[in-house]
Structure 1
């Protein structure tokens, strides 16, 4: 079944990758389904999309077990901040965790993985724009955090650049930090800037509103 918005995003990823002499398939599109009900997700699943991102463990627990029973190959990405006391639940449900940003969370995830035997890939979130409210470790703290995460399956780095400014310098900085630490994964780019991210090496882009429309409002 076709999905016009999904087809458009894939075409734009392919064009950006070609301009940067990259293969389009080197970038994974994560559909950010947070706050959207199962009925809104089904058309994307029917069109073949299999990578989805959620912000909250509890919301994902309510939606995804039933959807996974119906569709094979779904990969769930936790893209929001994770409380250490939810580490067990996150490891049980998610295939990739994108916002590992402090030693206490690293320790909780290591314990949860050792206990369950399940080892989701992890991205270390970097506070690339020095905006502590967004989460992420400070750039100066990245070497120490990576050292503490040696027992985690670290796939790469993740960032959320400052809003309303040109994202390219922040994406380029994240790519440099990843190279400096021997990491290949780059989770960067959202609906407004994913093409720039692809051109600068993103391996994962997190697209929500361009696929789903405006986000539904939920109570905190």
Structure 2
């Protein structure tokens, strides 16, 4: 048996939600002789303390906990949990193939430097596409926002956006050397929102969104793409 004397960092103990936050000191701190195989991967190879240890609802053992604005160029790889609203502050962000970026409820990522989310086709196991999504089933991410005034170069391929308020929001992004292709927008309130932008998207899918695409004072060239089962705008 193990004990800790720190705040266990429950998600919301006042509402009887005793799931652990991703930065909880109780993660991977249970009895090392206990079974842990029922916890979803990545599980750190050791049971979590608390009510959900060794259950399918156990909190993941994340590789990165994103909780503050960038102070340098950054690379994300593996499992990333965004627990606060994060800004890249003009620094570059590279997301490696196969990475899952999972957002706590309402949290967003704002990008103003170079952004590379360059996944690969899902021909390997585990798959090498990149995922941006709400973390738990009840978590709706705010979205991934690109501010073109930051002057960054964007390469976004084989990446998916799901369970969000706005999956991908682009403001003042003028397509020149940017690449947006093989994207999936699924189960969002709004899949793609363009504001004062000129861009091209190819070989992408917009499916089961409340609103597929919103284009506000923007020019969008959409080619070899599929829009299906969206309630509005595609």
The two structures have a TM-score, normalised by structure 1, of: 0.31
Structure number with the bigger relative contact order (C-alpha 8 A, sep ≥ 6) is 1
The two structures have a TM-score, normalised by structure 2, of: 0.29
**Who wins on radius of gyration, i.e. which is larger?**
2
Greater share of strand = 2
